[in-house]
Structure 1
Amino acid sequence: MTLPWGGLSCCLSAAALYLLGRSSGRDAEALKSVTRVNQLKELAQLLDLESKCLPLIVTISGRVGSETPINCQYSGLRGVIVEETAEQHYLKHNDAGSWIQDSALMLSMSKEVPWYLDDGTGRAHVVGARGATGFVLTVASEVFDESGRSLVRGTLDYLQGLKMLGVKRIERVLPTGTSLTVVGEAVKDDIGTIRIQRPHKGPFYVTPKTIDQLIANLGKWSRWYKYASMGLTVFGVFLITKHAIHYILERRRRRELQRRVLAAAAKRPGQDNESSDGKIENGSDCAKRDVLMPDLCVICLEQEYNSVFVPCGHMCCCTTCASHLSNCPLCRRRIEQVVKTFRH
Structure 2
Amino acid sequence: MTSHEQALVSLFSQLALSFDGAVLGLALAYTAVRSVLKLTANSAALDKLCAAPNLSVSDLRSLLDSSDSDGNSQNKLVIVRGTVEAKSSVESGWKSLRPGVLVSNESGDSAVAIERSQTVPFVLIDGGRRSHADYAIVNLEGSRHPLPLTTVYHKLQPTNASPYTFLQALFGNQYPVGILDEEKILPLGKDVYAVGICYYRNGIAEIKSCKELPYFLSELNKDQMIVELTFKSKVLFWSGIILGSLSIGILGYAFMRNWNKWKQWRQQREAQQQRQVNHDDAEFENLVNEMDDVPDGQLCVICLMRRRRSVFIPCGHLVCCQGCAVSVERNVAPKCPVCRQEIRNSVRIFES
**Same fold per superposition (TM over 0.5):** yes
Q: Distance in 1 between matches of 2:106 and 2:31?
A: 44
Q: 1:1-344 counterparts in 2 under 5 A?
A: 4-37=22-55, 39-51=56-68, 52-54=71-73, 55-66=75-86, 67=89, 68=98, 69-83=101-115, 110-119=118-127, 122-128=134-140, 131=143, 133-142=145-154, 170-190=182-202, 192-198=203-209, 205-254=216-265, 273=285
Q: Structure 1: which 5+ residue stretches go unaligned?
A: 85-108, 146-166, 277-341
- What is the identity, as a one-letter code, of the residue corresponding to 2:85? G
Q: Deviations over 1:138-174 (max 9, x none)?
A: 22124699xxxxxxxxxxxxxxxxxxxxx98643210
Q: Distance in 1 between matches of 2:180 and 2:213?
A: 39
SS of structure 1 residue aligned to 2:122: coil
Q: What displacement does 1:274 show?
A: 9.4
Paired residues in the alignment total 231
Kindly indicate whether the alpha-carbon contact (under 8 Å) linking 2:77 and 2:198 is maintained by their aligned counterparts in 1: yes
Kindly indicate whether the alpha-carbon contact (under 8 Å) linking 1:129 and 1:135 is maintained by their aligned counterparts in 2: no
Q: 1:244 to 1:124 in 2, by over 3 A?
A: same
Q: Distance in 2 between matches of 1:144 and 1:239?
A: 44
Q: 1:75 to 1:13 in 2, by over 3 A?
A: same
Q: Distance in 2 between matches of 1:185 and 1:343?
A: 95
Q: Distance in 2 between matches of 1:126 and 1:83?
A: 17
SS of structure 2 residue aligned to 1:131: coil
Q: Distance in 2 between matches of 1:249 and 1:187?
A: 64
Q: Distance in 1 between matches of 2:238 and 2:113?
A: 39
**Cross-structure match for 1:315:** none
Q: Percent identity?
A: 17
Q: 1:131 to 1:117 in 2, by over 3 A?
A: farther
Kindly indicate whether the alpha-carbon contact (under 8 Å) linking 2:114 and 2:185 is maintained by their aligned counterparts in 1: yes
Q: Deviations over 1:275-308 (max 9, x none)?
A: 99xxxxxxxxxxxxxxxxxxxxxxxxxxxxxxxx
Q: What displacement does 1:232 show?
A: 1.5
Q: Deviations over 1:181-226 (max 9, x none)?
A: 1011222344x53222235887761111111111221221122122
Q: Distance in 1 between matches of 2:246 and 2:215?
A: 36
Q: Hey, which of these two has a bigger chunk of helix by percent?
A: 2
Q: 1:208 to 1:202 in 2, by over 3 A?
A: closer
Q: Distance in 1 between matches of 2:192 and 2:127?
A: 10
Kindly indicate whether the alpha-carbon contact (under 8 Å) linking 2:85 and 2:122 is maintained by their aligned counterparts in 1: no
Q: Distance in 1 between matches of 2:156 and 2:235?
A: 40
Q: 1:202 to 1:17 in 2, by over 3 A?
A: closer
Q: Distance in 2 between matches of 1:193 and 1:126?
A: 11
Q: Structure 2: which 5+ residue stretches go unaligned?
A: 1-17, 90-97, 158-178, 289-344, 348-352
TM-score by length of structure 1 reads: 0.55
| RMSD after superposition | 4.0
Q: 1:201 to 1:12 in 2, by over 3 A?
A: closer
Kindly indicate whether the alpha-carbon contact (under 8 Å) linking 2:154 and 2:182 is maintained by their aligned counterparts in 1: yes
Kindly indicate whether the alpha-carbon contact (under 8 Å) linking 2:58 and 2:126 is maintained by their aligned counterparts in 1: no
- What is the identity, as a one-letter code, of the residue corresponding to 1:30? K
Q: 1:120 to 1:275 in 2, by over 3 A?
A: closer
Q: What displacement does 1:25 show?
A: 1.2
Q: Distance in 1 between matches of 2:259 and 2:38?
A: 36
Highest Rg: 1 or 2? 2
Q: 1:248 to 1:59 in 2, by over 3 A?
A: same
Kindly indicate whether the alpha-carbon contact (under 8 Å) linking 2:32 and 2:239 is maintained by their aligned counterparts in 1: yes
SS of structure 1 residue aligned to 2:232: helix
